[in-house]
Amino acid sequence: MITFHIISLFPESLDSYVNSSILKRAQERGIVAIKYYNPRDFAKSAKGNKDLSYAERRVDDRPYGGGPGMVMEALPVIRAIEKAVGKKIRSAKNRAKIKIIFFSPSGKQFTNVVADSFKKYTDIVLVCGRYEGVDARVKKAFPMTDISIGEYVLTGGELPAMVVIDTITRRIPGVLGDDNSVEERRVAGSDVYTRPPIIEYKGKKLSVPKVLLSGHHKKMDEWKKKAR
């Protein structure tokens, strides 16, 4: 089983996706588990004032060296990671089974190959930044890998966490109903069709390519290769 530990200021933004469809089933079947840690739960007020309301607890501050926006403070994030895997990472036996991912638009590009290389871990921690990102000193507290999901900048690391969890989970043998659904294990075209063979829309008849109705497997595979 892989346990995904998500460090996020907005865990509620992830709920509906991970609790639907294949990811939901993978959790119910004990193939993966997903846990949340909100740095706000690990934040202390600047004055050590315990009476501050939850929302008032500080988790970000202005960047050193100037510049726009706010930076997520290191300590609440470090404490959240500590809670998730701190004990395990200090045991020589378990250390190699833990991966900590630091999301950053300038990190290493996430791909299917990277996803497969992550399947061997029992615990994967996903550090989701918000605002201008997370104070880089968290990377001194624990070994981590900077990962990007693509050449664009998102508002936070929550979508990248979903992308990584989804991609890894569907590649674990037994998660998909039919293991051949994993794309590179079969001939797959980019366009797919289902019943009925002809549909009508605004007076136009739209039909499924004839070859796909032929039952001729070699010809269908050739068509799919071209359609990629």
Using CB under 6 A, list all residues that contact ligand SAH.
Answer: 103-105, 128-130, 132-134, 148-150, 152-154, 156-157, 160
Which of 64, 152 has the CB closer to ligand SAH? Answer: 152
Which of 55, 153 has the CB closer to ligand SAH? Answer: 153
d(CA 81, CA 51): 25
Closest distance to ligand SAH from the beta carbon of 82 (Å): 19
Q: What share of the chain is helix, strand, coil (3-state, %, to 5)?
A: 40, 20, 40
Closest distance to ligand SAH from the beta carbon of 10 (Å): 11
Which of 39, 133 has the CB closer to ligand SAH? Answer: 133
* Nearest CA among 185, 182, 184 for reference residue 169: 182
Q: Are 158 and 129 in contact (CB under 8 A)?
A: no
Task: Name residue, tokens 């007020």.
Answer: 45
- Number of neighbours of residue 213 by Cβ within 10 angstroms: 12
Which of 76, 224 has the CB closer to ligand SAH? Answer: 76
Closest distance to ligand SAH from the beta carbon of 181 (Å): 26
For the chain, first and last CA: distance in Å? Answer: 33
Closest distance to ligand SAH from the beta carbon of 60 (Å): 11
Closest distance to ligand SAH from the beta carbon of 193 (Å): 33
* Nearest CA among 3, 212, 7 for reference residue 126: 7
Residue with smallest beta-carbon separation from ligand SAH: 129
Which of 25, 58 has the CB closer to ligand SAH? Answer: 58
